[in-house]
Amino acid sequence: MTPRKKKQPRKITPSYLRNSGLFYLQKYVASSYQFERAMRRKIDRSCFVHTDQNKEDCYAWLSEVTEEFRQLGYLNDEAYLRGMLQSLRNSKGLSTRMILQKMRDKGFPEDQVLRGLSVIEDQDRKGENEFVAAQKFAKRKKLGPYHPAPPRKTYEQQLATLARAGFSYDICKKVLETEDI
């Protein structure tokens, strides 16, 4: 059996970059930052192999493609942020700190994420929403009132799990001491 040759990256052209970007967005939901980062990696790999092409020209084409996709609505950072915040808070039950960290990794500034969170949750009930998120996290991780009958984790271990998820000490104690589900 002969080993397979590694496939060479194609030369970057504006049409190739556009088609490649469309394929990427069909496969993944991404923010503008994530999209540009993925396409820059593709450009870098191609320019490493094809030394005759100018990397700066490729980056200029990428900027044009990104702007075109924004205008067409393929890249919508506000909708992406809103959807991610609702998913992270309501479905996964993550703390505000963890949400900030995850969204920072996706290229969103902290103030924009906090504004998005305030739109999602009523500002007067912020502590309550953090408690509800902690309860959802505890249910998902089987902590506190959701912990199985023969205990697998001590109270301190459960407290540490909630604390590592970014919840404050008071909220962690409140969740673990909750009797009713």
State the pLDDT at residue 1: 67
Interval 122-137 mean pLDDT: 72
pLDDT of 57 higher than 70: yes
- Provide the 3-class DSSP secondary structure of residue 150: coil
Rounded to 5 degrees, φ, ψ at 160 are -65, -40
pLDDT in tens, 63-117: 999 999 999 999 999 999 999 998 888 778 888 899 999 999 999 999 999 998 8
Q: Which amino acid is located at 92 in the chain?
A: K
pLDDT of 125 higher than 60: no
Chain CA centroid to CA 113, Å: 12
The overall average pLDDT reported for the chain is 89
Predicted TM-score of the model (pTM): 0.73
State the pLDDT at residue 31: 93
Interval 2-15 mean pLDDT: 87
State the pLDDT at residue 124: 39
Contact criterion met (CB below 8 Å) for 147 and 175: no
Contact criterion met (CB below 8 Å) for 43 and 50: no
Q: Which amino acid is located at 179 in the chain?
A: E
Task: For the chain, list the strands marked E by DSSP.
Answer: none
Q: Provide the b/e sequence for 108-140 (b: ≥16 CB within 10 Å).
A: beeeebeebbeeebeeeeeeebbbbbbbbbbee
Long-range residue pairs from 58-66, CB within 8 A, at least 24 positions apart, any chain: 58/12, 58/17, 61/12, 61/13, 61/14, 61/17, 62/17, 62/36, 64/14, 65/14, 65/17, 65/18, 65/21, 65/39, 66/21, 66/32, 66/35, 66/36, 66/39
Distance CA(31)–CA(117), nearest Å, equals: 17
Distance CA(163)–CA(161), nearest Å, equals: 5
Contact criterion met (CB below 8 Å) for 107 and 33: yes
